[in-house]
């Protein structure tokens, strides 16, 4: 057989072979790097725009919310106007709100299937509606308002820039991050929130750059305008041991149950108000009357508004044993009656109060379990365990990061396929079973059994004709 001849492309000398080997170490696609650089520059710019809009709207909202809270506390009689305030909000949404009444779920729906622009009137409506709720003593939070304002303003920017459906989806996801990070002062958790919240079991990594940018810029804008967040205690480092992990896991089960209960009760009350109060503007009026009666029953306004004072009591170990349940009931009635506001701050309060109560029976430090409850009940109710783990680190320090993760993951899992955002889609079921990604939490909820048995009416026994008279 003849010897094989080297190809013309094969280096013949030693130096040529060395050069060829070095040349083969790294492969570069300069066109690809140029595309990625353009992608980074474009989405950093657009994410910054979203962040500025989210930061400005959140800063104004937080300042006005502080004014509303202080005014109500200084004038307790204002709670008597809650039904009228609710009626005004109901009338505004009924006759002028359009799709704005769908709230956060509208933002999520447009992310999943972009069909129509988010109404521009959503931002002023939810802003005014939430301020009225807080001023007159309804129990609601802040994140829903921040997200809806950010989503409405960002979608308006997308309309002006004539962005296509794919880019518009990215802007809306970034708006979730920008609003959340700005209103709570948690830029890292805000980044993950936008990626995690729209689907159970799926992260939208394609939106990572705009989400990070929007959340960081939004938080920076809020701080630059001199708006500060409520300080929280630092949780000291706690060593890992199996006994503590087991106790935290048990607490996580409780946090998940309470998060699921909050979601179920809030949605259930919305169905009840819709069924028994057909005219939409009357629902918050009736709900306002119920909140007043509940306030009179407990004898104070501790559970009205944001109830941030309960968080301090919880960390001090002075929270009432039933404080978490009362706050849950006040908030479920307020939001179930279609008042405007968010769920997250009340969930923080509920979780902190519950954690404080569980500390003694579980033999754990009050500060630790209160901090765990603060984030883990929200993790179960919103299906965002990674967001809440990172939030725990941003708010309380990294000393208990593993315990934050354990509590949040178990709460998320045990809350089942329930959540405060009914339009969340199930991409991966929590038990690992297959999901096609089209089922929403609302849809799955309709397939569950009622918690009480159905009322069956007994049929009266058949009527017997009287016997004919005998001859």
Is the domain of 66 the same as that of 204? yes
Q: How far apart are CA 138 and CA 147, in angstroms?
A: 19
Report the pLDDT averaged over residues 260-275. 97
CA neighbor of 211 nearest in space, from 178, 168, 166: 178
In this predicted structure, the answer to whether residue 234 has a pLDDT above a threshold of 80 is yes
Whether 118 contacts 155, CB under 8 Å = yes
* Residue 139 covered by a domain: yes
Report the pLDDT averaged over residues 241-262. 98
* Structural domain ending residue among the three candidates 165, 192, 224: 224
Supply the DSSP string of 297-308, one letter for each residue: HHTSSTTSTT-H
Is the domain of 174 the same as that of 135? yes
Q: How far apart are CA 429 and CA 129, in angstroms?
A: 35
Q: Tell me the residue range of the domain where 393 lies.
A: 242-426
Which CATH number is 371's domain given? 1.10.3080.10
Residues 6+ apart with CB under 8 A from 435: 201, 426, 427, 428, 429
* Structural domain ending residue among the three candidates 193, 224, 255: 224
**Cα radius of gyration (the chain):** 27
In this predicted structure, the answer to whether residue 21 has a pLDDT above a threshold of 60 is yes
Rounded to the nearest 5 percent, the helix, strand and coil shares of the chain are 65, 0, 30
Burial of residue 411, with CB atoms counted within 10 A of its CB: 0-12 exposed, 13-18 middle, 19 or more buried: buried
pLDDT of residue 237: 82
* Structural domain ending residue among the three candidates 196, 224, 252: 224
In this predicted structure, the answer to whether residue 413 has a pLDDT above a threshold of 60 is yes
* Residue 179 covered by a domain: yes
DSSP three-state, residue 251: helix
470: confidence class by pLDDT, cuts 50, 70, 90? low
Q: Mean pLDDT of all residues in the chain?
A: 93
Instruction: List residues bridging with 200 in a β-sheet.
Output: 426
Is the domain of 212 the same as that of 316? no
Report the pLDDT averaged over residues 15-40. 92
In this predicted structure, the answer to whether residue 8 has a pLDDT above a threshold of 70 is no
pLDDT of residue 277: 97
Look at 215 and 237; give whichever has higher pLDDT: 215
Q: What pLDDT digit, counting tens, does each position of 167-214 carry?
A: 999 999 999 999 999 999 999 999 999 999 999 988 989 999 999 999
In this predicted structure, the answer to whether residue 350 has a pLDDT above a threshold of 50 is yes
Is the domain of 197 the same as that of 257? no
Is the domain of 202 the same as that of 332? no
In this predicted structure, the answer to whether residue 436 has a pLDDT above a threshold of 80 is no
Whether 281 contacts 94, CB under 8 Å = yes
Q: What pLDDT digit, counting tens, does each position of 118-174 carry?
A: 999 999 999 999 999 999 999 999 989 999 999 999 999 999 999 999 999 999 999
DSSP three-state, residue 141: strand
Cα 452–454–457 angle (5° rounding)? 140
Domain count within the chain:
2
* Residue 25 covered by a domain: no
Is the domain of 136 the same as that of 216? yes
In this predicted structure, the answer to whether residue 106 has a pLDDT above a threshold of 90 is yes
């Amino acid at each position: 057989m003849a010897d094989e001849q080297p190809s013309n492309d094969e280096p013949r000398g030693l130096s040529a072979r060395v050069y060829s080997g070095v040349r083969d170490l790294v492969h570069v696609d300069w066109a690809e790097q140029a595309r990625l650089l353009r992608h980074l520059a474009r989405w950093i710019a657009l994410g910054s725009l979203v962040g500025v809009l989210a930061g400005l709207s959140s800063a104004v909202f937080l300042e006005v919310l502080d004014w509303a809270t202080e005014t109500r506390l200084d004038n307790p009689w204002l709670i008597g106007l809650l039904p009228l305030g609710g009626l005004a909000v109901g009338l505004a949404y009924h006759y002028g709100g359009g799709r704005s009444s769908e709230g956060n779920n509208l933002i999520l729906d447009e992310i999943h299937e972009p069909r129509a622009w988010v109404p521009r009137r959503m931002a002023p409506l939810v802003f005014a509606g939430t301020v009225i709720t807080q001023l007159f003593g309804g129990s609601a939070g802040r994140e829903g308002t921040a997200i809806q304002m950010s989503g409405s303003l960002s979608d308006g920017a997308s309309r002006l820039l004539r962005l296509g459906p794919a880019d518009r989806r990215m802007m809306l996801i970034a708006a979730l991050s920008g609003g959340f990070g700005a209103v709570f002062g948690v830029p890292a958790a805000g980044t993950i929130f936008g990626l995690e919240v729209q689907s159970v079991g799926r992260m939208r990594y394609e939106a990572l750059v705009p989400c990070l940018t929007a959340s960081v810029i939004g938080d920076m804008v809020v701080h630059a305008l001199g708006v500060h967040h409520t300080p929280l205690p630092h949780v000291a480092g706690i060593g890992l041991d199996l006994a503590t992990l087991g106790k935290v896991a048990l607490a996580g089960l409780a946090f998940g149950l309470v998060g699921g209960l909050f979601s179920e009760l809030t949605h259930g009350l919305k169905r009840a108000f819709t069924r028994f109060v057909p005219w939409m503007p009357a629902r918050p009026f009736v709900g306002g009357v119920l909140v007043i009666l509940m306030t009179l029953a407990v004898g104070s306004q501790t559970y009205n508004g944001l109830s941030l004072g309960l968080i301090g009591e919880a960390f001090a170990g002075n929270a009432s044993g039933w404080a978490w349940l009362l706050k849950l009931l006040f908030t479920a009635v307020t939001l179930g009656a279609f008042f405007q506001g968010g769920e997250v701050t009340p969930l923080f309060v509920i979780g902190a109060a519950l954690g404080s109560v569980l500390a003694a029976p579980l033999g754990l430090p009050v500060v630790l379990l209160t901090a765990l409850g603060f984030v883990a009940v929200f993790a179960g109710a919103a299906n965002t365990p990674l967001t809440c783990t990172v939030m725990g680190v941003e708010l309380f320090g990294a000393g208990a990061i593993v315990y934050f993760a354990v509590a949040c993951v178990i709460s998320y899992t045990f809350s089942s396929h329930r959540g405060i955002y009914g339009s969340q889609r199930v991409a991966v079921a929590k038990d690992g079973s297959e999901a096609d990604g089209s089922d929403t939490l609302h849809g799955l909820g309709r397939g569950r059994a009622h918690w009480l048995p159905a009322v069956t009416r007994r049929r009266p026994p058949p009527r017997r004709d009287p016997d004919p008279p005998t001859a």
